[in-house]
Amino acid sequence: MAAHPGGLIRVKGLTRVYGDRKVLDGLDLELAPGEFTALLGRSGSGKSTLLRALAGLDPDVAGGGTVEVPGEVSVVFQDARLLPWQRVLPNVVLGLRGAERRGRESLAEVGLAGRERAWPNELSGGEQQRVALARSLVREPRLLLADEPFGALDALTRIKMHALLRRLFEQHRPAVLLVTHDVDEAIALADRVLVLDEGRIAAEQRPGAGGPEARAETHAEIRARLLTALGVTAGV
Ligand SMILES: Nc1ncnc2c1ncn2[C@@H]1O[C@H](COP(=O)(O)OP(=O)(O)OP(=O)(O)O)[C@@H](O)[C@H]1O
Ligand SMILES: [Mg+2]
């Protein structure tokens, strides 16, 4: 993994094979600094595989293409992955030295001020995910990867968490790549929505282009195009 001088996150010709199955097949992708991108794709299309490669968590991907990520990468998974034997604040600043004050600030940003000394199992699922978000933020990532981070939460909590993620993104401006299966949430949240299919980026839409009014007008159109790319018949 190499740093790119322009701050751009760049994937070129990424190929990942499991057995005789090519999950990623010469995939190209660029993510601009400070851009919020949502990634859609059928189950098994390779979304998590792509995120693992971007996070540098897949050593076997090295031979198949290049991945350039400048600076720190943080990942938020579907489960919070907190250490149960550590309280909330140590979980947030895990592996960092002298980061207690920043850890407290991050917890306040996700609405958990005052819960620093709680144990993970004293928190709800949504609260645990907020701790995971704080843990990501405190590292000031240039790239925040989120793999269906709120998929296990109820619909209402998920909507609130997505709004929180968007707010945090606007304050900290990392590049965000959010895997979600919800087309409407992707359109509502992201500057750019991608569909992964057959090992490549098969469709791209920019719901935010033209401001909020244009976003509302074209929502249905964009939704239809994305659903078509996902192999779902629109309008049903
Ligand atoms: N370690 C592995 N060994 C073998 N096959 C794997 C491995 N990891 C992933 N795969 C296969 O690669 C394909 C893509 O998996 P991946 O987890 O990236 O899909 P996904 O798009 O994230 O799906 P979902 O939406 O269900 O999370 C799947 O067919 C999966 O079975
Ligand atoms: Mg996945």
- Nearest-CA residue for atom 4 of ligand 1: 18
Which one of 45, 145, 183 would you pick to mutate in the ligand 1 pocket, going by the greatest count of ligand atoms within 8 A of its CB? 45
Which tokens belong to 157?
């909590």
| d(C-alpha 154, C-alpha 139), whole Å | 28
Reported as a single tens digit per residue, the pLDDT across 126-172 is: 999 999 999 999 999 999 999 999 888 898 998 899 899 999 999 99
What is the pLDDT at residue 166? 93
Ligand 1 near 198 CB (within 6 A): no
- Rounded CA Rg of the chain: 18
What is the pLDDT at residue 70? 81
The mean pLDDT value of the chain amounts to 90
Q: If you measure from the C-alpha of residue 102 to the centroid of ligand 1, how many angstroms do you get, rounded to a whole number?
A: 35
What is the pLDDT at residue 6? 63
Ligand 1 near 48 CB (within 6 A): yes
b/e per residue 104-134 (b: at least 16 CB within 10 A): bebbebbebeebbebebeebeebbbbbbbbb
What is the pLDDT at residue 65? 86
What is the pLDDT at residue 151? 86
Which one of 21, 23, 201 would you pick to mutate in the ligand 1 pocket, going by the greatest count of ligand atoms within 8 A of its CB? 23
Give the ranges where 27-172 is alpha helix by DSSP (H): 47-54, 88-92, 100-109, 125-137, 155-172
| d(C-alpha 3, C-alpha 222), whole Å | 33
Q: If you measure from the C-alpha of residue 55 to the centroid of ligand 2, how many angstroms do you get, rounded to a whole number?
A: 14
Residue 232 amino acid letter: V
Counting as low any pLDDT under 70, the low residues of the chain are 1-6, 62-63, 210-217, 234-236
With CA atoms as reference, report the closest residue to 193 among 178, 213, 172: 178
Q: How many helices (H) and strands (E) does the chain have?
A: 7, 9
Per-domain residue ranges of the chain: 82-140
Which tokens belong to 13?
């010709």
